[in-house]
Chain A
Amino acid sequence: MLLAKTGVPAASDLAKVIPSEERLKKGAVAIIECFQSIPCNPCQFACPRGAIKEFADINDIPKIDFDLCDGCGTCISKCPGLAIFVVDATYGAEEALVKIPYEFLPLPAKGDRVAGLNREGKEVCEAEVVRVQSAKGLDKTPIIWLSVPKDYMMEVRHIRLKGGAVS
């Protein structure tokens, strides 16, 4: 498995977790990029709508019912692996909304233009920060809402602030 050599999920891994075009057209939805059986289950208790299916075993890989998920993003900061993202393909005509967990300081501010990084840490586009959630309940895992060109909504998973700050 390529992922186990590089840490970067392959297209074949992602194909298993990315919702259908049809579902994406209906609005925001969570994507769980967790591909390895590990003993971890907080996500199944995180969803207020019960969209993350109950595990039979703590080592199960999480599964989302995309019909129940409304992309609220409550699960993002509960995942110890920071592997959950939300994508809203209906956000704008040209732009999609991507919500990512971001545990670095300084935090970006609303309106900042930042570098959108892919899963290898390479800059693929510019993104605009739409909102920064950093309430106490998120327990130091702030959530950054990014407006990105639609072509990159399945690519951008991290950001780099402009002006020299580290990743």
Chain B
Amino acid sequence: MKSLRKTELAVIGGGPAGLSSAITAMRQGAEVTLIDRDPVLGGQLIKQTHMFFGSKDQFASIRGIDIPSELIKALEEGPGKVKVELGTTVIGYYDDGVILMEKDNRATTLLPQRIIVATGAAEKMLPFPGNDLPGVYGAGAVQTLMNVYGIKPGKRVLMVGAGNIGLIVSYQLLQAGVEVVAIIEAAPHIGGYLVHASKVRRAGVPIYTSCSIKEAFGRESVEGAVICRLDENWQPLPGTEKTLELDVICLAVGLSPLTELLWQAGCKHKYVPELGGYVPVRNEKMQTSIPYIYVAGDAAGVEEASSAMIEGKLAGLFAAASLGYDHDLESLAATYRKELEELRSGEAGSKIRQGLAKLIGGVSVAS
């Protein structure tokens, strides 16, 4: 019988959080295996053609698409080696700590001593008649088509959701030469950064707040949509319906953590709407209710890439420390925590702060 492959630390997901986890743990001295289902590292960064916010430590002013190469360079620089398994999906977790992986239709197993789950988030869907018509896309799909494969999703787009993703993808659609008919937002205010909103407004795209989609229609695919205004209780206002002709409806209505593996492993979860729905309970070391499983990035609560990278560093740091690689632990942890606090300290971070207070306050986790 073939002996079971082992690794000290398996990092599942090679986006901003997973890459940062792997680099940090490797630098601390841990032997790391980084696993990603895509053929390239970078996760969602490979579609982010806009410049990042945040501070220099989190690559502010650098375009998202240029960040993976920086992180991969750090990964390759060492001093340690990280084994990278691409095109590999982790599909299961066994009680004895073995993870099951699929690559090229073949199943393999790996026994890690510690696991960091950095699997990101999934887009939320919106229920409305016609939402199953071809032409209704998630914003992530539109970004993948345009920015990874160079394919326009259509000619005339209705963007549903004025959070950062809705605003940024609208701007990228304009850059690709696609018309954005309108951005509609059910909330009474624009949720994304107002500078992003101003960018699409001056390019001629209207933003309607307190407005929602009532239905999509079309024979074979989307031919149009009916939108309507909402009252202060988020109920449709009769008589305000408006019909728009378009061939794409792009949904940017939020994300929820992608944590099937953590559910399967039996990690405790808690429903925290501010963090995107069910999120794994974890402590300040990014450690879940199962002590040898850590979590980082959107899987730990939906936020954004800058904070995901710092959470990744924290998870990598503490996972490595628990393996005995605890060089400079306290001072590094203090530095990363301070960076996270700074990012979350303003008005824009208030929702995250509320969510984290609900999640971390009052739950004891073995350390």
Contacts and interface: CB of A to CB of B under 8 A. Distances in A.
Interface of A: 3-9, 33-42, 45-46, 57-59, 78-83, 103-105, 117-122, 139-141, 157-158, 160, 166-167
B51 A36 contact: no
A103 to B, nearest CB: 6
SS of A interface (majority): loop
Contact of A103 (B175, B188, B347): B175
Contact of B202 (A34, A40, A120, A140): A120
B348 A37 contact: yes
Contacts of B60: 40-42, 80
B124 interface: no
Contacts of A40: 53-55, 60
A4 B199 CA distance: 13
24 contacts: A7-B190, A7-B194, A9-B198, A33-B195, A36-B348, A37-B346, A38-B53, A38-B193, A38-B346, A39-B306, A39-B348, A42-B56, A45-B56, A46-B61, A57-B346, A58-B55, A58-B343, A81-B195, A81-B196, A83-B198, A103-B175, A122-B204, A158-B203, A166-B177
B52 interface: yes
A141 B61 CA distance: 11
Give the most central of B60, B189, B198, B199: most A CB within 10 Å.
B198
A119 B199 contact: no
A57 B338 CA distance: 12
B204 A41 contact: no
Given A38-B193, A104-B174, A119 B348 contact: no
Contacts of B345: 39, 57-59
A120 B207 CA distance: 10
B353 interface: no
A36 B347 contact: yes
Given A38-B346, A79-B61, 10 more contacts: A3-B194, A4-B189, A4-B190, A5-B190, A34-B195, A38-B347, A39-B346, A58-B54, A103-B175, A104-B175
B200 interface: yes
B349 interface: yes
B201 A120 contact: yes
A57 B207 CA distance: 30
B63 interface: yes
A103 B306 CA distance: 23
B187 to A, nearest CB: 10
Contact of A36 (B195, B342, B349): B195
Contacts of B199: 81-82
B204 A81 contact: no
A5 B189 contact: yes
Contacts of B54: 39-41, 58
A46 to B, nearest CB: 8
Given A5-B189, A38-B193, A81-B53, A118 B346 contact: no
A154 B46 CA distance: 36
A4 B175 contact: no
A162 to B, nearest CB: 15
A80 B194 CA distance: 12
B109 interface: no
Nearest to A141: B51
A57 B205 CA distance: 33
Given A58-B343, A118-B202, A158-B203, A39 B63 contact: no
B347 A119 contact: no
A100 to B, nearest CB: 9
B180 to A, nearest CB: 10
Given A42-B60, A80-B52, A121 B346 contact: no
Contacts of A39: 53-55, 306, 342-346, 348-349
A73 B19 CA distance: 35
Given A166-B179, A167-B174, A5 B343 contact: no
Nearest to A38: B348
B55 to A, nearest CB: 5
